[in-house]
Structure 1
Amino acid sequence: MKELNFLHKDTFSYEEYKQMVKEYHEQDKVLDWFDYIYQSANGDFSKVFWADLEASPFLIEWLKKKIVQKSNKKACVIGCGVGDDAEALSDFGFEVTAFDISQTAIELCKNRYPNSNVKYVIADLFNYPKEWFESFDVVYECNTIQVLPNEYRKKARASMSSLLAKNGYILVSCRSREEGEKEDEIPKPLSKSELDEFISIDKLEEQSFLAYDDKQTPSVPHYFAVYKKNI
């Protein structure tokens, strides 16, 4: 097996990040590279290059609608990064479990929010603790599927949906692409047909769907979609 070239990097440029992910994908080691991004921050959460350091405004807007009214409401944040979205859900009254496959990411969260009510844990989306199955009223997914290749994307989507309790909601934030475009891009944005599999395969109901361009220069097209489990 070819030796990978990124094991001791202190910082990553965007191009180096894409090349690293490509090499890991080629060797079918699709989950093994995440921790290096967080390690390269050297304990400083603000140095994680993909972290926005604020909760998604679309998540906040949805939370302000107070759609989930039940007491003891539970939320799960997938690939929680440095914790902004998890803390927002906690602020809105959810009992939050936030997980990441990166041990370093979880350490950064705990150091950043030492008095947090969020339960930050190391976990694998493809092999999460069995007690999480169908346990959450809200699942928040931001930019996880798009960094996975091929069938891992479908497997991730199905695993995310399996976390939902009855009448639970999954909120999906991701880069977007037109059908047939950007097939070799890293990260690979999601097409509408990929997101529609939450409906056609996982049998969720689409509650809202927003296509928008972010504020980067040049802007990057995104989707923010909400699906509900009714069965």
Structure 2
Amino acid sequence: MSTADDAHTRHLAAADPTGWFEHLYAEAENGTANVPWDVGDPHGLLVAWARDLDGTGRRALVVGCGLGRDSEFVAARGFATTAFDIAPTAIATTRRRFPDSPVDYRVADLFAPPADWHRSFDLVVESITVQALPVALHQRAIAAIADFVAPGGTLLAIAVARDDVVPEGPPWPLTEAEVRSFATGGLREVSVDRPDGRWCAEFRRG
């Protein structure tokens, strides 16, 4: 059974760096692949960061939401939550998993998002999405994600860390310079931590 680490998936990612997600989710739906990040629980770094967070009256966006683990958690913190993924099968599967969810799950492309998402969200959560793209697309993806943050809003970015060597991928973990580059378009860095080989970074728009 394939996973995101095998040669088949590496070929898909190289040939179609955003469309390979749909290939993987469709194969998982057919029982011929595993989605390795489908672990059921929200990311531990997100849970720790948002422990005392009250999102009442505020809007959140979850980038590359996959099968909804982080989106449901964010919504449970009180945010009016929108979550998107480029893979239609991922969104369809998530809606079936959470039929009564308050989350607005959407099929959308990070590189061609709805115009009304521009600087519209009080919280933007980016958890391991950029690292699922080839390194050549990282800066474009980072800039697109930063653009979702509203004035006064916060971006939380979570990723596996790497130093200088570019892995064969996927994934393609982020360097410190890449993580700090989320501070663009008026976002300022609040904190950049590296617990257990992962980045957990917070940025805010003044």
TM-score scaled to structure 1, two decimals?
0.81
Shift of 1:14: 4.4
Gaps of at least 5 residues in structure 2 are none
Aligned to 2:175: 191
Q: Are residues 1:12 and 2:6 paired?
A: no
1:65-214 superposed matches below 5 A: 65-66=52-53, 71-178=56-163, 180-199=164-183, 201-213=184-196
Shift of 1:186: 2.7
Closer/same/farther in 2, CA of residues 48 and 147 from structure 1, 3 Å limit: closer
Q: Are residues 1:58 and 2:45 paired?
A: yes
2:4/2:10 contact within 8 Å kept? no
1:125/1:156 contact within 8 Å kept? yes
Looking at structure 1, the residues matched to 160 and 64 of structure 2 have their Cα atoms a distance apart, in angstroms, of 16
Looking at structure 2, the residues matched to 13 and 43 of structure 1 have their Cα atoms a distance apart, in angstroms, of 13
Looking at structure 1, the residues matched to 3 and 78 of structure 2 have their Cα atoms a distance apart, in angstroms, of 37
What's the secondary structure of 2:153's corresponding residue? strand
1:100/1:122 contact within 8 Å kept? yes
**Count of aligned residue pairs for this structure pair:** 205
Q: Which residue identity does 2:203 align to in structure 1?
A: Y
Higher relative contact order (CA 8 A, sep 6+): 2
Shift of 1:150: 3.6
TM-score scaled to structure 2, two decimals?
0.90
Shift of 1:65: 2.8
Question: Greater Rg, structure 1 or structure 2?
Answer: 1
Identity of aligned residues (%): 30
Shift of 1:24: 3.9
Looking at structure 1, the residues matched to 185 and 177 of structure 2 have their Cα atoms a distance apart, in angstroms, of 13
